[in-house]
Homo-oligomer: A and B are copies of this chain.
């Protein structure tokens, strides 16, 4: 019997994160203060982030120690298992080796706590008592709720009202771990009150929830803000995923030709791929990294590379990134974690320079892949994760066509236990491909100010 699971002992867990900024051919362009348009310095960020995270944001150290306290919490579910997808390979009849890293084993069910725990730790150490954040579908909010619980921090989550109503299970999970969850817009912030004055029945949006969470943190000295993707320090914390994969693949004498992940803000993609890009930069490895996004929100495949805001209200620094325009509102697909108009500056730059390639898929093919996976490997993927699965299956079928015994590694970023209404819709034939019209993308991008 061949072993499906490749397991590391806890003592073999990586003790440092990998900072790809040390290996870039040239530094990425800095964030700009949204008012002055000058490069944003530590002072621009210190009202809402602790200094340790601001330092990580701009660090050029290649390896950054993971604090002992963070490793201890990680050990509740890490190292996560790496699976060889024998059943999927057999069903596809492919000569390719398919591996997936199972990040769904964490208590909130995704890779998000890898950074939530680190952020809670550094904030606690800086004397902060309370963190605020926003959440859409709830993956990030529940990860931060778990992390705050461990470090004795209060956690306030502004959850987009429509999700608050539609996904009560995610809210309950956050509350079980002790978080305070509010349906955004709330009457607790100016941004929220302004929206309620305009539209008392507003169902909210992620852009607005961000504004509420940032306002909450900026207005209280005991409170900081935490973000679940996009920023350099968030991507840094996620590199433990890829670092573990490298150790696990060594145990079976394999190495990926393809590293695949879905891409919303970019953190799970960065987490699994950056440690392999390290090898590409330093040892000239020939691997291909593939970012997978929905056709309904094709940031990397159809966006433009320019400075843009991270939120609708233009409160955040301007980031140099692929963007569909900060006013872009993608259709309401089930993969809520991939509905973001921008992408992390690091991922964007690497895409621009050809180190990462991007593919976009329609929803029908994505859910078909999810079902194939659930009926072979058993595990039910989140709709976001299913995008990576779709690409992995496509590459495996290309290998079959070519008779090529390539090695494919993808990130199983989260399980779908809280997404079963999406499966219901798919099985009832209600999920159709949604492609965002090119002319509307062009219009949204054309409306961006030119900032150099």
Contact assessment for A424 and B177 in the assembled complex, using a CB-CB cutoff below 8 Å = no
Give CA–CA (A247, B146) in the complex, Å. Answer: 31
Give CA–CA (A107, B71) in the complex, Å. Answer: 27
Contact mask for chain A residues 331-365; partner B; CB cutoff 8 A; 1 contact, 0 none: 00000000000000000000000000000000000
Contact assessment for A172 and B378 in the assembled complex, using a CB-CB cutoff below 8 Å = no
Q: Which of A214-222, A273-281, A301-309, A413-421 contacts B (4 or more CB under 8 A)?
A: A413-421
Is A105 positioned at the interface, with any CB of B under 8 Å from its CB? yes
| Contact residues in B for A63 (Cβ distance below 8 Å) | none
Give CA–CA (A424, B176) in the complex, Å. Answer: 8
Residues 396-424 of A contacting B (Cβ, < 8 Å): 417-418, 420-421, 423-424
Which residue of B has the minimal Cβ distance to A425? B172
Give CA–CA (A222, B377) in the complex, Å. Answer: 27
**CB < 8 Å neighbour of A173 from B72, B172, B420:** B420
Is A375 positioned at the interface, with any CB of B under 8 Å from its CB? yes
Contact assessment for B149 and A72 in the assembled complex, using a CB-CB cutoff below 8 Å = no
Give CA–CA (A379, B378) in the complex, Å. Answer: 20
Contact assessment for B172 and A423 in the assembled complex, using a CB-CB cutoff below 8 Å = yes
Is A283 positioned at the interface, with any CB of B under 8 Å from its CB? no
Which residue of B has the minimal Cβ distance to A5? B10
Give CA–CA (A323, B54) in the complex, Å. Answer: 64
Contact mask for chain A residues 370-389; partner B; CB cutoff 8 A; 1 contact, 0 none: 01001101111000000000
Report copies per complex. 2
- Nearest Cβ on chain B to A162's Cβ, whole angstroms: 18
Give CA–CA (A1, B72) in the complex, Å. Answer: 7
Contact assessment for B76 and A173 in the assembled complex, using a CB-CB cutoff below 8 Å = no
Give CA–CA (A178, B11) in the complex, Å. Answer: 40
Contact assessment for B173 and A377 in the assembled complex, using a CB-CB cutoff below 8 Å = no
Residues 147-204 of A contacting B (Cβ, < 8 Å): 149, 168-169, 172-173, 175-178
| A172/B76 contact (C-beta < 8 A), A107-B378, A178-B375 known | no
| Contact residues in B for A424 (Cβ distance below 8 Å) | 168, 172, 175
Is A3 positioned at the interface, with any CB of B under 8 Å from its CB? yes
Give CA–CA (A87, B109) in the complex, Å. Answer: 19
Contact assessment for A420 and B169 in the assembled complex, using a CB-CB cutoff below 8 Å = yes
| Contact residues in B for A77 (Cβ distance below 8 Å) | 378
Is A427 positioned at the interface, with any CB of B under 8 Å from its CB? yes
**CB < 8 Å neighbour of A4 from B5, B76, B146:** B76
**CB < 8 Å neighbour of A420 from B3, B168, B421:** B168
- Nearest Cβ on chain B to A28's Cβ, whole angstroms: 34
Is A451 positioned at the interface, with any CB of B under 8 Å from its CB? no
Is A7 positioned at the interface, with any CB of B under 8 Å from its CB? yes
Is A9 positioned at the interface, with any CB of B under 8 Å from its CB? yes
Contact assessment for B7 and A7 in the assembled complex, using a CB-CB cutoff below 8 Å = yes
| A76/B9 contact (C-beta < 8 A), A1-B68, A168-B424, A172-B423 known | no
Residues 46-95 of A contacting B (Cβ, < 8 Å): 68, 71-72, 75-77, 87
| A176/B417 contact (C-beta < 8 A), A377-B76, A380-B107 known | no
| Contact residues in B for A71 (Cβ distance below 8 Å) | 1
Give CA–CA (A7, B76) in the complex, Å. Answer: 13
Contacts A176-B420, A176-B427 known; list 6 others, CB within 8 Å.
A3-B9, A4-B10, A7-B9, A77-B378, A146-B378, A175-B424
6 contacts between A and B (CB under 8 A): A4-B75, A77-B378, A105-B105, A107-B378, A172-B420, A172-B421
Closest 5 CB pairs of A and B: A107-B378, A172-B420, A417-B417, A169-B420, A3-B10
